[in-house]
């Protein structure tokens, strides 16, 4: 057996070594085509479709109907390759696209994501990995149902049911974020509408996971990790070399921060910049006045727009003027309630743009000490939620079942941390490089001489970049630039003036990041529904073939529904990911830790812990996140000023408290559970 595993490992190293060499050769060939004046749009097509075709081929080669292979890849994935697969599973669109973007926009506070996500793997390695692998089930609800089952065949059904609900919910929210990332990538580099891009992404996800389950997903994720890390590191190095003559800018990151700090201080003193901020401040005041006068202000403005449109048509005004007013009329709210929501959102945006630039290097910048304390609290709680959320995500924990042994499982987490760190130490550097480019080559540029990348990114729908001459001086000011952080990584090569082939490579890397995570999430939901619901709750006599077929059908249905939800554009990528972490932390972290380290925890306590933690987190997001408050009109108060993305800060303690209290007032577990806990914790 060890000899077979060793030969298997050597074959994998050969195959993926050849894949890496082929990737560099492919990029070189595309560079030659660009040099010979090949159309950039076609290069984008080739990059995206060739990479998807490669993943599809791996998925087809790894197709299987074997239950063990479909659910856990035969439990024979070597530690290094499982670490790469975990890293790819982990480094989603949020990591690849969103991390550098949030650091670009928020500066120091964006580092909460780096610290929280990285720290979470320490919890996985020490608290959960060896014990879950030693148990050796198929899903996380499998483990919880057995641990809290008192020896019953199939485990505890209520525990399994609520665990499936929690796993499906947090994985679904995370899945929507990945498909949204794919839609953004395809929209920019192929030029289709966002909704069409979403269904392109659906096709890419399905070809990797539908036929082969965990086996196909594992080996496509290894290839996707190679793709995404090569794309990210190469882009960072080339941007740094072109503009700063550095190959490893991660080492000299401090110099970039000094340049940014100096530029930000200069901007704060610039009279033109202050003039633009004052314009936005006045806009916010005007919007507040309109909100205060509702519904009268809505009726007045609607009548004025209608009268203006009639007047233009009556005097046969130029078609351009008529079309402009028609667009204004179409964009005008349908009723006073819609006006309240729209104008409130516009007021918040105007207020945000009227504020001084957020200093990139200053921790918790604020106008008052109370606001500074609130920002510090949100930073710490976000780190906490991301850390315990990392240790609770079902699609990551399920990967621990795929290694040959407990030792390999722990080693695979160490490999995963190394693989993830390669990108995480580079993301702040890329954010700094792009910000320097903005300060040096966009701010202060005449509007008549805007670079070509600005023109291209202004066309993307939904809008991710905007720029407008607010004070009429014909010069770009920082406050006149509206940036969606999700665009920073994808646009970085164009912003830096690199060849389009690098943009295509980065897009392919971002696509790999989104697809790899989406595959794992989709498989987690499908396996939970097919294995835990269908097999354990509906048909215990189902054959292996029927169970695998059911998993494939469920996988297809979930993928279609997730694509539909994504087309509604529920929020930015990083918030959706953060919400998924809080939901996972609130529902799973307390019961997983207690299952292993406190044998007194009972099934009733586990149900209470999961239900309470999940309910608290969902409630807090529902009444505080703008997407839901706009839909329902229900507005809640933020407890202690905590942002909804950190709802796990309330859900996790509530889950622990409920699980412990209910366990103490319910009968003890059967002796078989004590033996199971002893077995799991035995060295």
Residue 536 located in a structural domain = yes
- What are 231's two structure tokens? 């794309």
User: DSSP readout, 66-99?
Assistant: -HHHHHHGGG---HHHHHHHHHHHHS-HIIIIII
Q: Report the C-alpha gap between 503 and 367 in whole angstroms.
A: 39
Give, to the nearest 10 degrees, the angle between helix 194-209 and helix 500-527: 60
Contact status, residue 647 vs residue 659, Cβ threshold 8 Å? no
Q: Report the C-alpha gap between 402 and 99 in whole angstroms.
A: 28
Q: Which of 576, 487, 421 is nearest to 97 (CA)?
A: 487
114-130: string of b/e by CB count within 10 Å (b at 16+)? bbbbbbbbebbbebbbb
What is each CA distance from 282 to 40, 109, 357, 366, in whole angstroms?
43, 28, 18, 21
Q: Which of 229, 166, 202, 47 is nearest to 518 (CA)?
A: 202
Q: Report the C-alpha gap between 26 and 70 in whole angstroms.
A: 31
Q: Which of 532, 490, 443, 444 is nearest to 149 (CA)?
A: 532
Residue 449 located in a structural domain = no
The mean of the pLDDT values for the chain is 84
Pairing relation of β-strands 481-483 and 465-467? Answer: antiparallel
Residue 283 located in a structural domain = no
Q: Report the C-alpha gap between 465 and 297 in whole angstroms.
A: 30
What is each CA distance from 240 to 243, 451, 478, 493, in whole angstroms?
6, 20, 23, 11
Q: Which of 218, 209, 213 is nearest to 76 (CA)?
A: 218
What is each CA distance from 414 to 82, 226, 326, 402, 513, in whole angstroms?
10, 17, 59, 15, 20
Q: Report the C-alpha gap between 537 and 145 in whole angstroms.
A: 12
Question: What pLDDT shows up at residue 607?
Answer: 94
Residue 75 located in a structural domain = yes
Location of structure tokens 């505890």: 156
Residue 173 located in a structural domain = yes
Vertex 532 angle, CA 404 and 619, to 5°:
110
Q: Report the C-alpha gap between 129 and 418 in whole angstroms.
A: 16
- Phi–psi pair at 475, nearest 5 degrees: -120, 140
Number of H helices, E strands in the chain: 30, 2
Contact status, residue 23 vs residue 230, Cβ threshold 8 Å? yes
- What are 49's two structure tokens? 């479709």
Question: What pLDDT shows up at residue 628?
Answer: 66
User: DSSP readout, 532-549?
Assistant: IIIIIII-TT--HHHHHH
Which regions of the chain are under pLDDT 70? 1-3, 154, 188-192, 194, 201, 367, 461-462, 569-575, 626-636, 683
The domain total for the chain is 1
Return the CATH number at 162. Answer: 1.20.1730.10
Question: What pLDDT shows up at residue 250?
Answer: 82
Residue 290 located in a structural domain = no
H, E, C per residue of 462-474: CCCEEECCCCCCC
Residue 53 located in a structural domain = yes
Residue 494 located in a structural domain = no
pLDDT in tens, 573-626: 666 777 788 888 999 999 999 999 998 999 999 999 999 999 999 888 888 876
Domain that holds residue 532: 2-244+376-431+499-565
């Amino acid at each position: 057996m060890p000899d077979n595993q060793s030969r298997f490992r050597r074959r994998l190293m050969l195959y993926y070594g050849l894949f890496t060499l082929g990737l560099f050769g492919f990029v070189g060939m595309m560079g030659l085509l660009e040099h010979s004046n090949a159309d950039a749009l076609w290069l984008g097509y080739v990059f995206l479709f060739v990479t998807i075709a490669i993943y599809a081929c791996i998925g087809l080669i790894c197709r299987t109907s074997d239950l063990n292979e479909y659910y856990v890849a035969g439990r024979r994935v070597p530690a290094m390759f499982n670490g790469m697969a975990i890293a790819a599973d982990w480094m989603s669109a949020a990591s690849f696209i969103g991390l550098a973007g949030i650091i670009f926009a928020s500066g120091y506070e964006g580092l909460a994501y780096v610290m929280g996500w990285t720290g979470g793997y320490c919890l996985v390695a020490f608290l959960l990995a060896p014990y879950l692998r030693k148990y050796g089930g198929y899903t996380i609800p499998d483990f919880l149902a057995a641990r809290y089952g008192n020896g019953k065949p199939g485990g505890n059904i209520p525990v399994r049911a609520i665990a499936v609900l929690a796993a499906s919910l947090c994985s679904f929210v995370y899945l929507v974020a990945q498909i949204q990332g794919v839609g953004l990538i395809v929209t920019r580099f192929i030029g289709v509408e966002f909704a069409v891009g979403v269904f392109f992404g659906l096709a890419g996800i399905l070809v990797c996971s539908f036929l082969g389950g965990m086996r196909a997903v594992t080996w496509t994720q290894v290839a996707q990790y190679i793709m995404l890390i090569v794309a990210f590191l190469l882009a960072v190095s080339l941007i740094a070399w072109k503009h700063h003559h550095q190959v490893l800018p991660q080492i000299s990151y401090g110099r970039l921060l000094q340049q940014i700090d100096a530029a930000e201080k200069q901007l704060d003193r610039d009279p033109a910049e202050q003039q633009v901020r004052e314009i936005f401040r006045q806009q916010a005041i005007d919007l507040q006045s309109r909100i205060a006068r509702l519904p009268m202000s809505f009726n007045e403005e609607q009548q004025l727009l209608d009268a203006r449109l009639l007047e233009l048509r009556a005097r046969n005004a130029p078609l351009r003027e008529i079309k402009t007013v028609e667009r204004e009329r179409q964009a005008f709210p349908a009723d006073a309630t819609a006006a309240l929501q729209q104008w409130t959102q516009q007021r918040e945006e105007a207020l945000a743009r009227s504020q001084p630039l957020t200093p990139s290097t200053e921790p918790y910048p604020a106008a008052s000490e109370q606001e500074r304390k609130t920002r510090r609290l949100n930073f710490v709680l976000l780190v906490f939620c991301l850390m315990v959320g990392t240790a609770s995500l079902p699609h990551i924990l399920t990967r621990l079942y795929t290694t040959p042994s407990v030792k390999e499982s722990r080693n695979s987490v160490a490999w995963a941390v190394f693989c993830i760190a390669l990108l995480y130490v580079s993301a702040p550097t890329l954010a700094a490089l792009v910000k320097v480019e903005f300060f040096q080559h966009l701010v202060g540029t005449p509007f008549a001489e805007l670079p070509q990348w600005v023109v291209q990114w202004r066309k993307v729908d939904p809008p991710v970049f905007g720029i407008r001459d607010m004070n009429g001086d014909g010069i770009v000011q920082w406050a006149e630039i509206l940036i969606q952080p999700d665009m920073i990584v994808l646009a970085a090569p164009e912003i830096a003036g690199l060849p389009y082939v690098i943009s295509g490579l980065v897009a392919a890397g971002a696509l790999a990041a989104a697809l790899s995570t989406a595959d794992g999430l989709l498989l987690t939901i499908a396996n939970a529904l097919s294995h835990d619901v269908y097999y354990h709750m509906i048909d215990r006599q189902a054959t292996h073939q029927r169970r695998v077929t059911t998993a494939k059908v469920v996988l297809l249905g979930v993928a279609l529904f997730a694509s539909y939800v994504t087309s509604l554009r529920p929020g930015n990528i990083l918030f959706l990911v953060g919400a998924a972490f809080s939901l996972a932390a609130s529902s799973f972290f307390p019961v997983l830790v207690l299952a292993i380290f406190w044998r007194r925890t009972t099934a009733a306590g586990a149900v209470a812990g999961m239900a309470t933690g999940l309910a608290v987190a969902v409630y807090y997001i529902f009444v505080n996140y703008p997407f839901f408050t706009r839909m329902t009109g229900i507005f809640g108060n933020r407890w202690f000023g905590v942002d909804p993305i950190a709802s796990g800060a309330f859900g996790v303690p509530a889950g622990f408290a409920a699980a412990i209290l209910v366990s103490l007032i319910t009968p003890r577990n059967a002796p078989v559970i004590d033996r199971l806990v002893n077995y799991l914790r035995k060295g």
